[in-house]
Homo-oligomer: A and B are copies of this chain.
Amino acid sequence: MTTNDAVRLLEQFRAGAVTRAQVLRAFRAPAVSNLGFARVDLDRGLRKGFPEVIFGEGKTPAQVVAIARQIWRHEGRVLVTRTTPGHARAMKRAFPRAVHHENARCITLERTPLPKRGGPITVLCAGTTDLPVAEEAAVTAQIMGNRVERVYDVGVAGLHRLLGSLEAIQNAHVIIAVAGMEGALPSVVAGLVSRPVIAVPTSVGYGASLGGLAALLAMLNSCASGVTVVNIDNGFGAGYAASQINALSRDTA
């Protein structure tokens, strides 16, 4: 709410057009549904451009379904990430049209898909084992209304595989580069394009990969300009940020 909005609201209140309760709620009280164990943010679609997303890990199937119900009713669009098979079964039972993206460990549910906006978001991954994280990013970006290109298994140890996909990469509006181990993919890619590159380290590796810390540090220290980084295995975060960036190109044109 901008100051102008506030001024207008107060004048309407003085004029009797809105009630005192409405003023208070506008200033103070965004719509929140308190389930006891969770307060579902029902205005997030308005505020952030997409409804609250349910992080499945550590929640019981019943909790996930209860939260999903609230969001479904108000927003008509639900994304659950980091799901277990138990979550999937419970969601399918509660919402027959729910879609389980197994590779991505996500569940989606929507009345009508959002229209696709902006240019393509290209999701790259370095190796086969990085695939679940890449898919989480791709599924997130898709449900948020973006066209998504997938270019998988293009790690830097076989540079020709990457260079052979250069066209798809250079056509992208935003690039998501997913890699474990030494995490070099985003640096090489960012040197080849002028579009924003979001780097996603994965926990793929062993020994001194330290559960993905090696890749994370490499990406944070990228010698290529324009790389930003999200948490280890955070495909969702990358897909979400890419969508925000892509939305900018359409919304602000």
Residues 185 to 224 of chain A near chain B (Cβ within 8 Å): 187-188, 190-196, 198, 201, 203-224
* Chain B residues, Cβ within 8 Å of A201: 207
Residue A114 CB within 8 A of the other chain: no
Contact of A191 among B24, B128, B157, B234 (CB under 8 A): B157
Instruction: Point out the residues of chain B lying under 8 angstroms from A145, CB to CB.
Output: none
User: A residues touching B (Cβ–Cβ < 8 Å)?
Assistant: 1-3, 6-7, 10-11, 13-14, 20, 23-24, 27-30, 32, 34, 36-39, 41, 43-44, 47-50, 53, 55, 57-59, 63, 118-119, 126-129, 131, 152-161, 163-164, 166-167, 170, 173-174, 181-184, 187-188, 190-196, 198, 201, 203-234, 236-238, 240-241, 244-249, 251-253
Residue of B nearest to A188 (CB): B156
Asked if A221 and B209 make an inter-chain contact with CB atoms under 8 angstroms apart, the answer reads yes
CA–CA, A237 and B208, complex, Å: 13
What are 15 A-B residue pairs whose CB atoms fall within 8 Å in the complex? A7-B20, A39-B153, A48-B226, A58-B204, A59-B129, A157-B191, A159-B188, A194-B247, A207-B216, A208-B231, A209-B231, A220-B232, A226-B240, A226-B244, A228-B241
- Residues in B neighbouring A218, C-beta threshold 8 A: 182-184, 214-215, 217-218
Q: Which residues of B contact A32 (CB under 8 A)?
A: 158, 160-161, 164
CA distance A17 to B83 in the complex (A): 56
- Contact for A163 among B28, B118, B224, B236, CB less than 8 A: B28
Q: Give Cα A111 to B241, complex, Å.
A: 35
For A182, the chain B residues whose CB sits under 8 A away are 182-184, 187, 217-219, 221-223
What are the residues of chain B within 8 A of A247 when measuring CB–CB? 194
Rank and list the top 8 A-B pairs by shortest CB-CB distance, nearest first: A207-B232, A253-B253, A184-B184, A228-B228, A58-B129, A214-B217, A157-B224, A157-B191
A228 to chain B, nearest CB (A): 3
A184 touches B187 (CB 8 A): yes
CB distance from A221 to the nearest CB of B (A): 4
Whole-angstrom distance between the Cβ of A137 and the nearest chain B Cβ: 12
